[in-house]
Amino acid sequence: MGGARMRLHSVPLPSVEQRQRGLMDWLGQLPGPAWLTLPGREPDRHRVVVTLLHGNEPSGVRALWQLWAEPPQCAVTTHFCLANLDAALFEGGFVHRHRPGQPDMNRCFGRAGAGEAYQLTAAIAERIAELAPEAVVDLHNTSGSGPSFAVTIADTEAHRALSGLFTERMLRTRVRLGALMELTTPTTPIVTIECGGALDPASDEVARAGLTRFMALDSVLTEQPATWQLDCLYDPIRVQLMPAGKIRYRAEPVFGADLTLPPDIERLNFGWLPAHSPLGWLGERGLAALALSDGLGRPPVESLFYQAGNELRLAKDSKLFMITTNPTIALSDCLFYMVVA
């Protein structure tokens, strides 16, 4: 099973009747991963919006649902890909990042593998390569609460301009995970937009305002007369718990946990923290419970952290982001990313 379900299905914009029944109902009626197209003033140019690679990150599709009610005049032919509907619809809707037992879809691009997630990501990559769009944006929400930011693998004017349509922050990373934005080329820049937390009311508006610009503007590849200054952060380091580590989120250390972080740690997202700031509490394994990755290698944990008593402390002035308080994601993906001053 699955092969047919996992191809991209070209579907029309939702009808008035479908709109009345609502977004979830419409998503439930789709034959599978969906591809929609709106005509533009310049039909031979193309732009692509991808969203729902992660099933519990709805800001992109919610913003599109709003925009499609009265679509703006698109500058160029604009395509919309709703990817992991299987996960998005499972158990009530927007609950699961991926279907249990399936790989994370935004870890499968450019990677060889068997199964539906790899089939679909290959189909999306193929469609993008065929169209040769001038720009691709991939809309996500962060696992935790926090402000919006863009993620790219390249720091070019095109990547900065695309990021700046949506958000004030851009991360250029060396970490390669199999994400769609890693397929960026000199002629097709691709950026990830993290609109903010799925539950943050501002996130849907970040997506809506950015998509309106992405669809309507004649040029999205040159930086706009500064609506805001783009803050670029380079080479974030991914902070992970060692395999089978035990993480807890509590206001005091939990016995038996390798790491306890306070439940409100998300409030640290994107703020500068001075060296020696305590982040949480280590267990018996101490710093050995943690692992770092910068995309090139594995820097020693002691380069960024030290232990004082049972406290985990910052060795340098640092900025943390993509902090999660979801223990499943903390274990399967990472605790957070950071850059040092």
179 contacts: CB under 8 Å, gap ≥ 6: 106, 107, 109, 138, 151, 192
Which residue's Cβ has the minimum distance to Zn ion?
140
Complex with Zn ion: residue 140 or 238, whichever CB lies closer? 140
Binding piece for Zn ion, criterion CB under 5 A, among 19-27, 41-49, 50-58, 80-88: 50-58
Q: Of 96, 91, 99, 79, whose CA–CA distance to 36 is shortest?
A: 79
Binding to Zn ion, residues 135-154 (CB under 5 A): 140
Complex with Zn ion: residue 18 or 326, whichever CB lies closer? 326
Nearest distance from C-beta of residue 52 to Zn ion, angstroms: 9
Amino acid residing at 177: L
Nearest distance from C-beta of residue 140 to Zn ion, angstroms: 3
Q: What is the size of the binding site for Zn ion (CB under 5 A)?
A: 3
SS3 state of residue 201: helix
- 8 A C-beta contact, residue 61 and residue 52: yes
Complex with Zn ion: residue 198 or 304, whichever CB lies closer? 198
Nearest distance from C-beta of residue 106 to Zn ion, angstroms: 6
Complex with Zn ion: residue 29 or 332, whichever CB lies closer? 332
SS3 state of residue 245: coil
Nearest distance from C-beta of residue 196 to Zn ion, angstroms: 12
Examine residue 79 and tell whether it contacts Zn ion (CB under 5 A).
Answer: no
Examine residue 159 and tell whether it contacts Zn ion (CB under 5 A).
Answer: no
Bridge partner list, 232: 170
Complex with Zn ion: residue 140 or 208, whichever CB lies closer? 140
In this structure, what are the phi and psi dihedrals at residue 316, rounded to the nearest 5 degrees?
A: -135, 165
Examine residue 248 and tell whether it contacts Zn ion (CB under 5 A).
Answer: no
DSSP letter assigned to residue 148? -
Nearest distance from C-beta of residue 98 to Zn ion, angstroms: 10
Complex with Zn ion: residue 124 or 312, whichever CB lies closer? 124
Nearest distance from C-beta of residue 275 to Zn ion, angstroms: 31
Amino acid residing at 25: D
Complex with Zn ion: residue 57 or 204, whichever CB lies closer? 57
Sketch the per residue contact string, 291 through 330, with Zn ion: x for CB under 5 A, - otherwise. ----------------------------------------
CA torsion through residues 124, 128, 131, 135, sign: positive
- Cα distances (angstroms) measured from residue 8 to each of 16, 31, 35, 121, 241: 23, 9, 6, 10, 36
The label of the residue with tokens 């409030």 reads: 267
* Among the listed residues 45, 47, 54, 62, the single contact to Zn ion using CB under 5 A: 54
DSSP string, 140-180: EEESSS---EEEES---HHHHHHHHHH-SEEEE-----S-G
Q: Of 181, 152, 153, 157, whose CA–CA distance to 169 is shortest?
A: 152
The contact set with Zn ion (CB under 5 A) reads 54, 57, 140
